[in-house]
Amino acid sequence: MRSKTRVRCLIAFVLLLPGLASVVAQDAPSEPATPPPDALGRSTPRGTVLGFLSAARKGDYQLARQYLNTRLAEAAATQRAEQLFVVLDAKLPARLTTVIDVPEGSRSNVSSPDDERIATLAEGDASVDVVLERVQPAKSGAIWLFSSRTVDAVPAVYDGVLRSRATTRLPGFLLDTRISGIAVFEWLGMLVAIPLLFLATGLLNRILTPVVQFIGGRMMGKARFRERNALATPARLLLLAIASQWLLSILPLSLLSRQFFSSLMTLLAIAAVAWLLMYLGQEIEASVLRRLPTSNTASVSLLRVGRRIGDAFIVLAALLATLRHFGVDPTPALAGLGVGGIAVALAAQKTLENVIAGASLIFDQAVRVGDSIKVGEIVGTVDEIGLRSTRIRTLDRTVVIVPNSQIASAAVETLSARDKFWFHPVVGLRYETTAEQLEQVMKDIRRMLDQHSSVARESVRVRLTRLGAFSLDIEIFAYVIATDWAQFLEIQEQLLFTVTEIVSRAGTAMAFPSQTMYVAK
């Protein structure tokens, strides 16, 4: 009976489950739906400005008035959109990539966070603040429109722009004919002005070069400045970019042409600055190389690698500046480069370790070319110090290549850095030597060392140190002043000959391993 009741309850629960789910779904708070993106691109301030300019440039002012926040009638709003385009096309600075491109705006104005100020345009006594304001239509998400204050202030500046255009006397085909949206006279003006400006930089170079050669010749020598130009090619290109930007600011050109040529000159300026910095690095390298000896190949290699790394950083900075100019955020690219750099560093860990160790050896001068060193069991002369390894020529005249990291972490004994050589023989005399003979030998050896010109007198010590198994051991301790190992060997040979003569004159002799047998009577 109980089993039947349980089955009936389970069936009833299954049948009621969908209804309970629907009730819970109705009671649960619903998440706000994300509004669809604006079809006209008015979700960001930059999208509004570019969308308005694009529609007006095509002559579609009915579409362009959709970017205005105004209560004017349709015909009046369309006319006002045309007037705003004329004003913006003539007066708006060519910095469209600096307009904020996020839906929230920059919020730089604390009192009006939904307002975005683009620029202030003036013509004569009239001026207009180009301001975008964020509005919330009833059936869509928040959009950005040209504010009503801007729309109302446009006519005064528009009249001034028309008066300034009336003074321009050019043939109609030059003004009306357009190539890629830019009038023919603007193409001709810039394409003629840019070469003339470059020729002007060349003329300036010819004027300044004799002055620089005279001053440089007086200060640093004439040979170095005999064929040196005052303005290198990258410096001339940088001057060309600066002069072109100034020319664009004073000529009555359209916004499209000013934006195009301004971007072109900005790219030229970035490339010129990068080229100039690389040229400066090359000159610094050449100046340092003139002061380095030709045998110092390690420093030359390190200097060359350092300059190439610097050039790579300059090119990277130029690319990032170019991306920033066009409104591209380089942060993700930098993050990717950081992750990639970590991966490369881990993969080339040993190589980087050797390169860094080589740089430390070169800068610290711990090991130099020509030094006689001992690293572990390796004894020889340093032939070359590279960025990754050091070449040591052993006493057998073979070449051993040791990674720089091993030399940097090992105890290196520099044999050629010795200022004195240790003369430390032990003279063993026979047991038949009398006390008088032993004292005479020690006295004569001490006198001989004191009188020798190559022996440091303060270091001389001659003592009877041990009664050995078959000899009386005399320890000789002294430092010999010599320039190298070969000279020390020569002086040591003379001293040893003299010691043997002293032993012979005393009437005794050197001991040799022997045994004495005593026979009992």
3-state secondary structure of 158: helix
The pLDDT value recorded for residue 339 is 63
The pLDDT value recorded for residue 447 is 93
- Mean pLDDT, the chain, integer: 79
**How many domains are contained in the chain?**
4
**Phi/psi zone of residue 433: left (φ > 0), alpha (ψ -120 to 50 degrees), beta?**
beta
* Between 113 and 492, residue with greater pLDDT: 492
99-124 tens-digit pLDDT? 888 888 888 777 788 888 888 888 77
Residue 406's pLDDT band, with cuts at 50, 70 and 90, is: confident
217-263 tens-digit pLDDT? 666 555 555 556 778 888 888 988 888 888 777 777 777 777 888 88
- Give the C-alpha distances (Å, rounded to integers) separating 363 from 286, 296, 360, 367, 503: 19, 12, 5, 10, 52
Residue 40's pLDDT band, with cuts at 50, 70 and 90, is: confident
Q: Please name which of 71, 182, 49 lies closest in space to residue 80, comparing C-alpha atoms.
A: 71
Spatial separation of the C-alpha atoms in residues 394 and 24, rounded to whole Å: 88
Q: Among the three residues 417, 446, 470, which one is the final residue of a domain in this structure?
A: 417
429 pLDDT more than 70: yes
332 pLDDT more than 80: no
Whether residue 144 is found in the same domain as residue 197: no
Q: Among the three residues 134, 167, 200, which one is the final residue of a domain in this structure?
A: 167
Task: Specify the range with the lowest mean pLDDT, choosing from 82-86, 100-104, 180-184, 378-382.
Answer: 180-184
* Structure-block tokens of residue 166: 């009336």
Beta bridge partners of 179: 182
431: CATH: 3.30.70.100
Over residues 320-325, the mean pLDDT reads 83
Spatial separation of the C-alpha atoms in residues 10 and 23, rounded to whole Å: 20
Q: Please name which of 259, 217, 323 lies closest in space to residue 89, comparing C-alpha atoms.
A: 259
- Selection from 67-71, 253-257, 284-288, 489-493 with the highest mean pLDDT: 489-493
Whether residue 155 is found in the same domain as residue 196: no
**Phi/psi zone of residue 428: left (φ > 0), alpha (ψ -120 to 50 degrees), beta?**
beta
* Between 95 and 364, residue with greater pLDDT: 95
In a domain, 299, yes or no: no
Over residues 503-517, the mean pLDDT reads 86
Beta bridge partners of 120: 129
Do 133 and 69 contact (CB within 8 A), yes or no? yes
Residue 503's pLDDT band, with cuts at 50, 70 and 90, is: very high
Whether residue 395 is found in the same domain as residue 365: yes
- Selection from 170-174, 322-326, 454-458 with the highest mean pLDDT: 454-458
Helix, strand, coil shares of the chain as percentages rounded to 5?
Answer: 55, 15, 25
289 pLDDT more than 70: yes
User: What's the burial of 157, exposed, middle or buried (CB within 10 Å: 0-12/13-18/19+)?
Assistant: buried
In a domain, 145, yes or no: yes
User: What's the burial of 358, exposed, middle or buried (CB within 10 Å: 0-12/13-18/19+)?
Assistant: buried
Residue 470's pLDDT band, with cuts at 50, 70 and 90, is: confident
The pLDDT value recorded for residue 508 is 92
Question: What are phi and psi for residue 402, nearest 5 degrees?
Answer: -115, 130
Q: In sequence order, what are the residues at sequence separation of 6 or more whose Cβ sits closer than 8 angstroms to the Cβ of residue 437?
A: 429, 506, 507, 508
Q: Among the three residues 275, 291, 307, which one is the final residue of a domain in this structure?
A: 291
Spatial separation of the C-alpha atoms in residues 499 and 444, rounded to whole Å: 9
In a domain, 468, yes or no: yes
DSSP-derived secondary structure for 317-385: HHHHHHHHHTT---HHHHHHHHHHHHHHHHHTHHHHHHHHHHHHHHHHTSS-TT-EEEETTEEEEEEEE
How many other β-carbons are positioned within 10 Å of the β-carbon of residue 271? 16
The percentage of the chain sitting over the pLDDT mark of 70, rounded to a whole number, equals 78
Over residues 318-333, the mean pLDDT reads 78
In a domain, 309, yes or no: no
26 pLDDT more than 70: no
Over residues 315-340, the mean pLDDT reads 76
What is the span of the domain harbouring residue 266?
A: 182-291
Q: Evaluate the CA torsion angle 145, 150, 152, 154 in order and state its sign.
A: negative
Residue 23's pLDDT band, with cuts at 50, 70 and 90, is: very low
